[in-house]
Amino acid sequence: MAASHDTTTRSARAGAPETMTIRAATSDGPRTGASFWARLGSAFAMFRNGKSITGLAILGFFVLVAIFADQLAPYSPTKVDNTARFQPPSAAHWLGTTHIGEDVLSQVIHGTRGVIVVGFLAAIIATLIAITIGVIAGYLSGWKSEGLSALTNVFLVIPGLPLIIIVASIFEDPPLWVIAAVLGLIGWAWGARVLRAQTMSLRNRDFIQAARANGEPLRRIIAVEMLPNLMALIAASFVGTVTAAILSLTTLSYIGVIPVTTYNWGTILNWASAQGAFQQNQWWWYLPPGLCIAIIGVALSLINFGIDEYVNPRLRSAGERARAMKKKGLDVNDAVTAVRPAASATASAASGAPSASDAPSQRVTA
């Protein structure tokens, strides 16, 4: 980096040392683009660790299955094969058939679409409401903040099951977006409370006070100053809402609250239970959708663990230290680790001084 000595300031006192101001010379002006991409990268740095990457890869697989369900499914989920009823997995039907000859694999693939659509749509609705109410309630003060907080507390105690039953009774065959909207409307309160608490700790920070003193409007303070500092909590709230929405959908479908005509993994388990697949040990009917629910739950949990590792400084430093030790070939679980400063040993050898390897090696107890 080139530098130019543009100004030299001498002190007025006798015998005072000279001071010099050095300014870095830039030929292409301020790098606004690099700053934007740096801020964007730092906002999503929570997804760079191994846990988040693994969870995102598994979740991305299910999303692709949901998008290309029509192309991936070997049969229509309602196609009946009268010659193959209650058949175990075979070359024609990889996951077997149902009691009337429907292909289980095709039903699981098409059921993935309903699970992903409801989970993500409910999470989007709940997260938008949580951001709006939680951040505004945390930034404001007085009766406005208390009123929004009271509204959040009311939605925290609203039972979701009776509301779903009422909606299911109104609609003979409720579409997926209606189910997602109901789950989103009853699932935003927890995220709003967390965001309100964090916003209350941010509103008195220096950069917020400076923006307020400059006369910045409220929408810009929230969007530009606060939201980038809340991205980790927003992402954690979104992932948690997706998990809760998927579990709620499959549970309500399994117990029959949601009509079985809506394809998802819960309805497949409902059909299997109604036809005695559990008692007759027809595992190919109930095990695949159950494993899919467990796997997508593990994926979302891994993403949440990765976000928690990024947010928590103690977990982040422990993870970075463990990865650094693995790169050096050291055992992370070893109670005693030998430490040999290679850089100082090389410098000592070059100067002819005794190296650190000649002295007894230092031992650090973990």
pLDDT confidence of residue 24: 39
Q: Tell me the mean pLDDT in the region 244-272.
A: 87
**Measured at the alpha carbon of residue 281, what is the angle toward residues 278 and 284, in degrees to the nearest 5?**
90
Instruction: Locate 307 and state its tokens.
Output: 């976000």
Counting every residue written for the chain, the total comes to 366
Cα 165 from chain centroid (whole Å): 30
- Please report the pLDDT score of residue 213 as a whole number: 87
Check residue 334 and give its pLDDT: 60
Look at 6 and 225; give whichever has higher pLDDT.
Answer: 225
Report which of 316, 296, 294, 295 is spatially closest to residue 305, judged by C-alpha positions: 316
Which of 39-48, 171-180, 346-355 has the highest mean predicted lDDT (pLDDT)? Answer: 171-180
| Predicted pLDDT at 188 | 93
Say if residue 43's pLDDT is above 90. no
- Residue 80: predicted pLDDT: 86
Classify residue 148 by burial, with Cβ atoms within 10 Å: 0-12, 13-18, 19+: buried
Average pLDDT, the chain: 78
CB neighbours of 221 closer than 8 A, spacing ≥ 6?
139, 208, 211, 212
- Nearest CA among 45, 65, 41 for reference residue 53: 45
Please name the residues in contact with 268: beta carbons below 8 A apart, sequence gap of 6 or more: 104, 107, 108, 111, 285, 286, 289
Give the pLDDT confidence of 125-168 residue by residue, as tens digits. 999 999 999 999 998 888 888 999 999 999 988 887 788 778 77
**Most confident of the following: 18-22, 41-45, 84-88, 343-347:** 84-88
At residue 116, the pLDDT reads: 95
Whether the pLDDT of residue 39 is over 70: the answer is no
According to the CATH classification, is domain 65-330 in 3.40.1080.10?
A: no
Check pLDDT > 80 for residue 241.
yes
Quote the tokens at residue 240.
Answer: 């948690």
Task: Report whether pLDDT(16) > 80.
Answer: no
Q: What is the pLDDT of residue 28?
A: 41
For residues 348 and 354, give the distance between their C-alpha atoms in angstroms, rounded to a whole number: 6
**Contact between residue 265 and residue 297 where contact means Cβ atoms under 8 Å apart:** no
Closest by Cα among 70, 207, 191, 174 to 129: 191
pLDDT of residue 352: 54
Compute the distance between CA of residue 243 and CA of residue 249 in angstroms, rounded to an integer: 10
Q: Cβ distance 183 to 249 under 8 Å?
A: yes
Q: Which of 257, 259, 283 is nearest to 272 (CA)?
A: 283
The greatest distance separating any two alpha carbons of the chain, rounded to the nearest whole angstrom, comes to: 106
Q: What are phi and psi of 5, to 5 degrees?
A: -85, 90
Residue 47 has pLDDT above 80, yes or no: no
The DSSP-derived string for 76-133 is -TT---TT-SSPPS-SS-TT-B-TTS-BHHHHHHHHHHHHHHHHHHHHHHHHHHHHHH
Give residue-wise pLDDT tens across range 263-307.
789 999 999 988 888 888 889 999 999 999 999 999 999 998 888
Quote the crossing angle between the two packed helices 160-170 and 176-185, to the nearest 10°: 150
Q: In this structure, how many other beta carbons lie within 10 angstroms of the beta carbon of residue 295? A: 14
Q: What percent of the chain has pLDDT over 90?
A: 33
State the pLDDT at residue 290.
94
Q: Please name which of 222, 208, 232, 226 lies closest in space to residue 47, comparing C-alpha atoms.
A: 232
**pLDDT above 70 for 203:** yes
Tell me the C-alpha distance between 156 and 190, whole Å: 7
**Tens digits of residue pLDDT in 337-363:** 444 554 444 444 545 545 444 444 444
Q: Residue 255 above 50 pLDDT? A: yes
Kindly tell me if the per-residue pLDDT of 336 is higher than 60: no
- Report pLDDT for 121: 95
- Residue 171 is given by DSSP the state -
Q: 126 and 156 in contact (C-beta within 8 Å)?
A: no
Distance of CA 277 to the CA centre of its chain: 35
Classify the C-alpha dihedral 179-182-185-189 as positive or negative. negative
- Residue pLDDT, tens place only, 97-120: 998 889 999 999 999 999 999 999
pTM of the entire predicted model: 0.73
Q: What is the per-residue pLDDT for 41?
A: 59
Average of per-residue pLDDT across 34-54: 68
- Residue 8 has a pLDDT of 43
The pLDDT score that the predictor gives to residue 27 is 38
Say how far apart CA 270 and CA 254 lie, in whole Å: 5
